[in-house]
Amino acid sequence: AQKVTQAQTEISVVEKEDVTLDCVYETRDTTYYLFWYKQPPSGELVFLIRRNSFDEQNEISGRYSWNFQKSTSSFNFTITASQVVDSAVYFCALSEDDYKLSFGAGTTVTVRA
């Protein structure tokens, strides 16, 4: 069974629009970690955020923000005022142990000028 679901396969927006990427996860553990990565066309995954299950505070980093809600098992990611450079594939991932990451299928974001 898929542990991380990213229901949106592709999202296309015009520059300066906000875009929210959904991530729903499934786990029975009380301690776990959630991650978001960005994969630009160059191919390398770029780490964006790591969040543990005990920290439900929302986080903002520049134009990026994350909304973690344990009650709905979601860890959504919003890009505010999107730019063309935000065009990439974005992956949400879940870690339930010290080594393995379970990735979602990814959401392709296209920002048009």
95 binds another protein (CB under 8 A): yes
97 binds another protein (CB under 8 A): yes
What's the 3-state SS for the chain?
CCCEECCCCEEEEECCCCEEECCEECCCCCCCEEEEEEECCCCCCEEEEEEECCCCCCEEECCEEEEEEHHHCEEEEEECCCCHHHCEEEEEEEECCCCCCEECCCEEEEEEC
Cβ closer to another protein: 32 or 75? 32
105 binds another protein (CB under 8 A): yes
Binding mask 39-58 for another protein (x = CB under 8 A): ---xxxxxx--x-x------
- Taking CB under 8 A as the criterion, the residue among 16, 63, 70, 100 binding another protein is 100
31 binds another protein (CB under 8 A): yes
101 binds another protein (CB under 8 A): yes
- Give the C-alpha distances (Å, rounded to integers) separating 7 from 10, 22, 29: 9, 7, 22
Residues that bind another protein (CB under 8 A): 4, 9, 31-33, 35, 37, 42-47, 50, 52, 91, 93, 95, 97-101, 103-106
